[in-house]
Amino acid sequence: MPLETSDVIRISKPLYRSRNWLRLIGIMLIINGAVITITGIGVLIAWLPIWLGVLLLKTAQAIRVAHQCGNQHMLELSLQRLRFTFTVMGVSVLLLLAGTIAMAVYYYQGALF
């Protein structure tokens, strides 16, 4: 069901106000990926923050267009990108947590015996 232009603008307003934060986080993720690459040990995983950073920058751009033009398609696209970003970040955090717990158990077992 198509939305009116004014509805798209009204619905996109909270995200539109946050677009600069989305850009900042996107840039910081790209820088983080570059630093991980420079260290050499994280070359295999450095693509993930860079990719997420680029995705957040594209999300901020899409929400800007959606809000300024009242474009429903761009609003939907920005919400899909944001959902995908949070899904990937959530899975990454769970994997990081599991790896941290596994390393802690490994080191504590070695320290006790």
Cα–Cα distance for residue pair 19/59, rounded to 1 Å: 8
Give the pLDDT band of residue 72 (cuts 50, 70, 90): very high
Cα–Cα distance for residue pair 72/66, rounded to 1 Å: 6
Check residue 94 and give its pLDDT: 95
Check residue 63 and give its pLDDT: 95
Domain boundaries, the chain: 5-112
Is 23 exposed, middle or buried (CB count within 10 Å of its CB: 0-12, 13-18, 19+)? middle
Give the pLDDT band of residue 16 (cuts 50, 70, 90): very high
Residue whose structure tokens are 């490994």: 106
Residue 10 has pLDDT above 70, yes or no: yes
Average pLDDT over residues 46-67: 93
For 27-40, give one letter per residue: b (16+ CB within 10 A) or e.
eebbebbeebbeee
What lies within 8 Å, CB to CB, of 87 at 6+ separation is none
Residue 7: CA count within 13 A, CB half-sphere: 7
